[in-house]
Amino acid sequence: MQVKRFLPYIFGIFFLFQNTASAQCAMCRAVLESEGSGNTAQAVNDGIVYLMVVPYLLLIVVGWGIYRVMKNKKPKTDE
């Protein structure tokens, strides 16, 4: 069993199942928490986290594609 083959999946699982993440700036948090219910603050925080994930996923997909192309590229022989 090759660990390298499953390594991206393992990192993906750890990345997707994080328990907590605080992504709000201090000003946004203070304004949203002062309104009483924390539902709006939690929704804004979740939105920020989701927006932050998309660029990293794109980088992972592009990097993986480049890796696959370079790995499958056969070297030319001068015969």
Given a contact cutoff of 8 angstroms between Cβ atoms, the answer to whether 23 and 48 are in contact is: yes
Residue 10 identity (one-letter amino acid):
I
- Give ∠ CA 4-5-7 in degrees, rounded to 5: 60
pLDDT confidence tier of residue 54, bands split at 50, 70 and 90: confident
pLDDT digits (tens, 9 = 90+) for 4-16: 777 777 777 777 7
pLDDT digits (tens, 9 = 90+) for 5-51: 777 777 777 777 665 555 556 777 677 767 766 677 777 778 888 88
pLDDT score for 39: 74
Taking CA atoms, 35 is separated from 11, 42, 50, 75, in Å, by 37, 12, 23, 63
pLDDT digits (tens, 9 = 90+) for 69-79: 888 886 666 55
pLDDT score for 59: 92
Integer Cα distance of 10 and 18 in angstroms = 13
74 burial class (0-12, 13-18, 19+ CB within 10 angstroms)? exposed
Given a contact cutoff of 8 angstroms between Cβ atoms, the answer to whether 34 and 46 are in contact is: no
